[in-house]
Homo-oligomer: A and B are copies of this chain.
């Protein structure tokens, strides 16, 4: 049985992925890794902790790494990080921003995958599962299948324990993830997508709108909705 690390943000995709890896792929042991990178709110990480605990012994370790340096590195530049600008409503995004939204954090996913690959390598995992999806609402260069392929080209140079990044949802529609999550018994009330930090999801930011579409596509009601 292959051991695996799963990147777990506490959002919809990574939560479904964790359940998929544990229940369907049967990897053991499974390690889950989350990042505190100065998000404007802690809701996602609460959900990540809840989901990892809900799987009991199947998750050997869930670690939340504190990336305190993130703000110093690139903080003020991104709407996702405390100290940055407001998260815009999707409707307010200008066409010029569609190639790189305000919520972009410079080189974020390369940093996170590099750290996660180190975490996985140190624990003897051959595979790192990553819930990225090719975005259709707006584009991040570091969320594409080509990006993952090139990250893997770097990691493949490792002479002893190369870690391979698998992004099994990269080409799926978000609705398919919701449908899969349902068959796996995922409790969607304990997932968080909204970029803003309110008590309830705002319903207007880009991820709220994606989430709504995903549930619509799957023909399900969002318990947070």
Q: Which residues of A contact B (CB under 8 A)?
A: 63, 65-69, 72-74, 77, 99-100, 105-108, 110-111, 113-115, 117-119, 121-122, 139, 141-142, 144, 146-147, 150-151, 153-155, 157-160, 163
Other-chain residue from B122, B150, B163 in contact with A77 (beta carbon distance below 8 A) = B122
On whether the beta carbons of A121 and B106 are closer than 8 Å, the reply is: yes
Question: Which residues of chain B come closer than 8 Å to A117, judged between CB atoms?
Answer: 106-107, 110
Copies of chain A in the complex: 2
The prevalent SS among residues of A at the interface is helix
* 6 further interface pairs, Cβ-Cβ under 8 Å (given A65-B72, A150-B153): A74-B119, A107-B158, A110-B114, A110-B118, A111-B118, A150-B154
Interface centre among A66, A100, A111, A139 (most CB of B within 10 A): A111
